[in-house]
Amino acid sequence: MNVAIIGAGIAGLTAARELRERGAQVTVFEKSRGLGGRLATKRLHWGHVDIGAQYFTARDERFKAQVDRWMAQGFVARWEFTPHAIDARKGLVRPKDSSIRYVGTPSMNSLAHALADKVEVRFNSRIQSLTQSSEGWRVEISDGEPVDDCYDWVVLSLPAEQSQSLLADTPIGHKIPQDIHQACWALALATCGEVAPEIQGIFGDELVSWVSRLSARPQRNISKPYDDLWMLHFAGEWSDTKGKHLPDNFTQLGLEWLSATLNKPLKLAYAYPHYWRYARVKPDKVKPVVIADKTKGLAAIGDWSAGGRVEGAYLSALDFVDYFFD
């Protein structure tokens, strides 16, 4: 059996690994130059920045078992801290929090690299169309080399909106939800200025929804001309309103917000913005489901089809493979 998987995030790579273990020949097509999807790590001259997911949790026993294996292999570590939150009257407070959080080590996309071991991945391969013949499915790459192979299955591990666009004229196209993601502007800030060590993560407000102190996470020690490295994720509604056009004062806006929140005058050393068009799944849109057609050899998986989060991406692939290829 020959399978094409579109997207090299956690869902796509998990499906690739599981299918290979069942004897399938698998090729993963990835539009970018790297692995991980929203576990992306940007390598800048002044630091390595996790610009997507900042941590993950594990609730399902199957995912917990996988996390334990990653920890034993050195790909994952627990992030031991209690997040702060913003109180309108008191400023930063530390609510009770019993969640166990994990991060990839040395970077978040280490999880993707672990899953991609022995998996064939074709980078810089944006799929623009799918066609089916008596021999199987063919994929066409935009501005790329032709793909001669035919595939028995095509599995899309993309945001729902992108999967729906590619599969609109197929039997499962109408089953894929539309407009279920919010955007997210991300802003990395390297700063100078002393900040209390216990402040490592902050649940924010209507402007910035989450802040990670990247330099405080496991295996993230820095030896740069700055004191701390932060990642600000701006709120979904704010990001949706602004769209992909970067506000002129964006970096200053983020720096002033962080300084005010910490009640510390921080000095900026470096900054890096990134726009995620498809980031968080809207809470009212999370409906776990397996979307596939065995007779046609088509499937659409991803965190959006399994409750969101990194765990959802992993479980969506596991549920799909276990159900159709057990």
Structural domains present in the chain: 2-39+111-179+285-325 (3.50.50.60), 61-109+180-281 (3.90.660.10)
Distances (CA, A) of 55 to 15, 19, 268, 283, 309: 21, 27, 25, 19, 9
The answer to whether the peptide bond before residue 106 is cis (omega within 30 degrees of 0) is yes
Where does residue 186 rank: exposed (0-12), middle (13-18), buried (19+ CB within 10 A)?
buried
pLDDT in tens, 38-81: 999 999 999 999 999 999 999 999 999 999 999 999 999 999 99
Mean pLDDT of the region 75-104? 94
The mean pLDDT of the chain is: 94
Residue range 156-178, pLDDT digits in tens: 999 999 999 999 999 999 999 98
Name residues whose C-beta falls within 8 Å of residue 72's C-beta, 6 or more positions apart in sequence.
none
Contact (CB, 8 A) for 111 and 75: yes
Burial 141-166 (b: 16+ CB within 10 A, else e): beebeebeeebebbbbbbbbbbbbeb
Question: For residues 144 and 36, which has the higher predicted lDDT (pLDDT)?
Answer: 36
Q: For residue 247, give every residue at least 6 positions away whose Cβ sits within 8 Å of its Cβ, in sequence order, or none.
A: 253
- pTM of the full predicted structure? 0.94
Residues ≥6 apart with Cβ < 8 Å to 148: none
Q: Alpha-carbon distance 300 to 179, whole Å?
A: 15
Six-digit token pair at 256? 């002033």
pLDDT of residue 285: 66
Closest among 54, 27, 32, 56 to 313, alpha carbons compared: 56
CB 14 within 8 A of CB 313: yes
**Cα–Cα distance measured from residue 62 to residue 64, given in angstroms and rounded to the nearest whole number:** 5
* pLDDT of amino acid 286: 67
pLDDT per position as a tens digit, 219-230: 876 767 999 999
Over residues 297-305, the mean pLDDT reads: 95
